[in-house]
Amino acid sequence: MWDSFFAPRGVVVIGASHTPTKLGYGAARNLVVSDYPGAIHFVNPKGGELFGRPIHSRIADVPDPVDLAVILIPAAAVPQALEDCGRRGIPAVIIGSGGFREVGPAGAALEATCLEIARRHGMRLVGPNCIGLLDTHLPIDTTFLPLPGPIPGDIAFLSHSGAICEAVIDWARGQGFGLSRLVSLGNQLDLTEADFLAPTVADPHTRVVAMYLEGIADGRKFIAEARRAAQQKPLVAIKVGRSEGGRRAVASHTGALAGRDAAYDAAFRKAGVLRADNSEEVFDWARALAWCPLPKGPRIAVLTNAGGPGAIAVDALETSGLVLAEFSAETNAVLRRLLPAAASIRNPVDMLAGAGTTEYASGLDALLSDEGVDGLILVLPPPPMTTAAEVAGAIIPIIRASGKPVVVALMGEDLIVHAARLLRQARVPDYRFPERAAMAMGILWRRASLLVSMPPDPIRPDGLRPGEAAEILANAARGFAGFIDASQASRMVEAYGVPIPAEMSAATAEEAAAAARRLGFPVVLKIASPDIPHKSDVGGVRLGLGSESDVMRAFGEMRASAAAAAPQARLRGAVVQPMIGAGQEVILGVVRDEQFGPLVMFGAGGVEVEMLRDIAFALAPLSRMEAERLIDSTHAGRRLGGSRSLPPADREAVVEALLRVAQLAVDQPEVAEIEVNPLRVFEQGKGAAALDVRLRLG
């Protein structure tokens, strides 16, 4: 199928036009000008001739070979054109026409008709509402964008926005780098960004895949495809729509804290996609990944002729996950012989303003020869005693021979134009400021680290009782959507191997006192109500009750407090638990993201979880490595290792609880949210207990 899009034997433009302002003219022109080696056909009922080729009045009249059709006609006429393509046996179609789902229900219905026709004839579609695709190496250009097109290169670009494609092509030419392929996805009626990952990564001319994403059509499919692709070549993406307005309003801490953007972050981490914060970063990173070898470690040298920019580079590289390299005695000796006495030979190396081609070349060679240096940022403001171009010419052979990554902060504008051209021709990435250069070096180290630490596929924990959990769920549900009874929620997580304290339900104060007597004093009393998500907020928790009279009094006070604070809530008595020993408190949660499925949260527990926001997210199911990373990415998780005032806690028990709660959410799709808050973690080797469990059905 993919050859029909990227290497067709023949292409037909349906809607080819003589009018230069029409899209059909632009697509026909670009196909001819691109030097596409296959057959080129045009269709328009008016007939005639265009670019020395006949215009056929019907699709049925188009001669062989033709594997790909580009449709640029009014939306209402597209279904009939698809029928004609199907009868003609054309397997691949690009619908560039607009006027579909993006304009409302009528357009969406038109899309549905087009998809039905395509499936009936076994055709695959790109678009509608797109600008097409191109491959600079075949070459083929099915877009209608203005000329000149992109220069041949090694960065592929998949985009949900056609306008972004046009801007990127022009910007890439100005920045001196080329594209291998470009695909405008449009409305993604049929083929999506996930479908294009495998064929794009398989392209021998593509070294990096960059993506502009407005959404993802099928989250689980995208993760699976991207995960396979990222193990072969780097994937860099920008996902727009990070605002607070995208957050879901749900009742639990987990739901309140888990915005849509947290799900995308977790999905990209799971898949190995490098997420950029802005469009410029996408291509800053892509150039470095396409042109540089990966570093073997994070130890970076900085070489400059100016102290200020060198200091900026140091600050930026440390925020990018890199460290300053320490030079060997031999390297220090070489630098001391080479540079003036006033120069700084410590990292960052400041050669002073008088440094010229000899100092830059010799200093660069010395630093790259040091085994303690994994990569280098060369900061080059216009030198006063020579030209930036002369320095560039001197350093390029050294960079090519080193086998280590070098990025250049080539500062300035008019005085560095020639130097920039030389560096780009040699495939040495240049950036205007040290911060951008440092971030590019940082992404090289992230990519190197990712290749050796991609999380393995999750392994299902043992000792699970999913049948028991499903039975509890069936008894709790009965068409109900909302938070189930707390005791049922606790039994659900217990069926998945998460320890819970002994507990008893009590409808009256007398029953609560009897339960406390059986469990043993002191006890905890908690209000039982599916309508009160946060018990402490309504005075619904009483701790350390040491006698039956204490329990009966607390029961009445707690019920009155809850009734006053939440008069509409259904009060079902109380849950009685024995007091549990001291320990650290964390929160575990799951909220079901509509795009990617269960999203697991971990962080600081207790009543202040939303205020502290010491949290991290990952997509279920979890591997052990992902659970460990989730813990390590929060202060609460790192604190489990102990501190001056706290002994080490049972981290392994937390890992197990995360794996098991995540698996519960995967196995039981009716569960919309789970929250264990707090999970009390005891001293190392003594386990953990889920003190409060909330579970909502969707």
Confidence of residue 639 (pLDDT cuts 50, 70, 90): very high
User: What CA–CA distances, in Å, run from 604 to 481, 593, 614, 653?
Assistant: 28, 22, 6, 16
Confidence of residue 453 (pLDDT cuts 50, 70, 90): confident
The pLDDT assigned to 241 comes to 74
Residue 665, pLDDT > 70, answer yes
Higher pLDDT, 256 or 673: 673
Confidence of residue 457 (pLDDT cuts 50, 70, 90): confident
Instruction: Please give the average per-residue pLDDT across 76-99, as a whole number.
Output: 97
Residue ranges of domains in the chain, CATH in brackets = 2-240 (3.40.50.720), 293-453 (3.40.50.261), 456-500+581-698 (3.30.470.20), 502-579 (3.30.1490.20)
Determine the 3-state secondary structure of 596 from DSSP.
Answer: coil
Residue 195, pLDDT > 90, answer yes
**Residues 385-409 pLDDT 10s:** 899 999 999 999 999 999 999 999 9
The pLDDT assigned to 466 comes to 95
Confidence of residue 246 (pLDDT cuts 50, 70, 90): very low
The pLDDT assigned to 683 comes to 93
The pLDDT assigned to 248 comes to 39
Residue 411, pLDDT > 50, answer yes
The pLDDT assigned to 86 comes to 97
- Radius of gyration, alpha carbons of the chain: 31
Residue 664, pLDDT > 80, answer yes
Higher pLDDT, 674 or 643: 674
Nearest by Cα to 348 from 383, 321, 316: 316
Q: What residues contact 606, with CB distance under 8 A and at least 6 apart?
A: 585, 587, 677, 678
Q: What residues contact 185, with CB distance under 8 A and at least 6 apart?
A: 126, 127, 130, 158, 159, 160, 191, 192, 193, 196
The pLDDT assigned to 449 comes to 96
What's the CA gap between 93 and 171, in Å, rounded? 28
Residue 123, pLDDT > 90, answer yes
- Do residues 584 and 639 make contact, with C-beta atoms less than 8 angstroms apart? yes
Which helix (H) or strand (E) covers residue 406, if one does?
A: strand 406-410
**Residues 504-517 pLDDT 10s:** 889 999 998 998 89
- Do residues 321 and 446 make contact, with C-beta atoms less than 8 angstroms apart? yes
Q: What percent of the chain has pLDDT above 90?
A: 78
User: What are the φ and ψ backbone dihedral angles of 498, each rounded to 5 degrees?
Assistant: -90, 120
User: What are the φ and ψ backbone dihedral angles of 377, each rounded to 5 degrees?
Assistant: -105, 120
Confidence of residue 413 (pLDDT cuts 50, 70, 90): very high
Tell the residue number behind the tokens 């495809």, with chain if given: 225
Write the secondary structure of 539-560 as one string of H (helix), E (strand) and C (coil). CCEEEEECCHHHHHHHHHHHHH
User: What CA–CA distances, in Å, run from 412 to 383, 384, 396, 415?
Assistant: 11, 13, 19, 6
Residue 171, pLDDT > 50, answer yes
How many residues in the chain?
698
Phi-psi region of 9 (alpha: psi -120 to 50; beta: other; left: phi over 0): alpha
Instruction: Please give the average per-residue pLDDT across 581-587, as a whole number.
Output: 91
**Residues 333-391 pLDDT 10s:** 999 999 999 999 999 999 999 898 999 999 999 999 999 999 999 999 999 989 999 99
The pLDDT assigned to 582 comes to 87
- Do residues 200 and 209 make contact, with C-beta atoms less than 8 angstroms apart? yes
Instruction: Please give the average per-residue pLDDT across 649-656, as a whole number.
Output: 96
Token representation of residue 75: 């939306």
Q: What percent of the chain has pLDDT above 70?
A: 96
| Mean pLDDT estimate for the chain | 92
Confidence of residue 252 (pLDDT cuts 50, 70, 90): very low
User: What CA–CA distances, in Å, run from 588 to 200, 577, 601, 680?
Assistant: 38, 20, 6, 11
Token representation of residue 400: 């090519």
The pLDDT assigned to 610 comes to 63
Is the bond into 533 cis (omega within 30 degrees of 0)? no
Write the secondary structure of 320-376 as one string of H (helix), E (strand) and C (coil). CCCEECCCCHHHHHHHHHHCCCCCECCCCEECCCCCCHHHHHHHHHHHHHCCCCCEE
The pLDDT assigned to 311 comes to 94
The pLDDT assigned to 638 comes to 94
Q: Residue 109 CB: number of other CB atoms within 10 A?
A: 12
Residue 251, pLDDT > 70, answer no
Higher pLDDT, 582 or 139: 139
Strands (E), 150-308: 152-159, 179-184, 208-213, 235-239, 274-275, 299-304
Tell the residue number behind the tokens 């949260």, with chain if given: 601
The pLDDT assigned to 529 comes to 86
User: What are the φ and ψ backbone dihedral angles of 638, each rounded to 5 degrees?
Assistant: -65, -30
- Do residues 383 and 352 make contact, with C-beta atoms less than 8 angstroms apart? no
What's the CA gap between 307 and 311, in Å, rounded? 6
What's the CA gap between 93 and 127, in Å, rounded? 9
Confidence of residue 256 (pLDDT cuts 50, 70, 90): very low
Helices (H) and strands (E) in the chain, counts: 24, 31
Confidence of residue 259 (pLDDT cuts 50, 70, 90): low
Residue 451, pLDDT > 70, answer yes
Confidence of residue 456 (pLDDT cuts 50, 70, 90): confident
Confidence of residue 534 (pLDDT cuts 50, 70, 90): confident
User: What CA–CA distances, in Å, run from 217 to 114, 137, 189, 213, 250?
Assistant: 18, 29, 10, 10, 23
User: What are the φ and ψ backbone dihedral angles of 113, each rounded to 5 degrees?
Assistant: -65, -45
What's the CA gap between 194 and 214, in Å, rounded? 13
**Residues 603-619 pLDDT 10s:** 998 766 666 678 999 99
Q: Which of 193-207, 582-596, 601-615 has the lowest mean pLDDT?
A: 601-615
**Residues 32-64 pLDDT 10s:** 999 999 999 999 999 999 999 999 999 999 999
The pLDDT assigned to 61 comes to 96
Residue 253, pLDDT > 70, answer no
What's the CA gap between 614 and 603, in Å, rounded? 5
The pLDDT assigned to 242 comes to 63
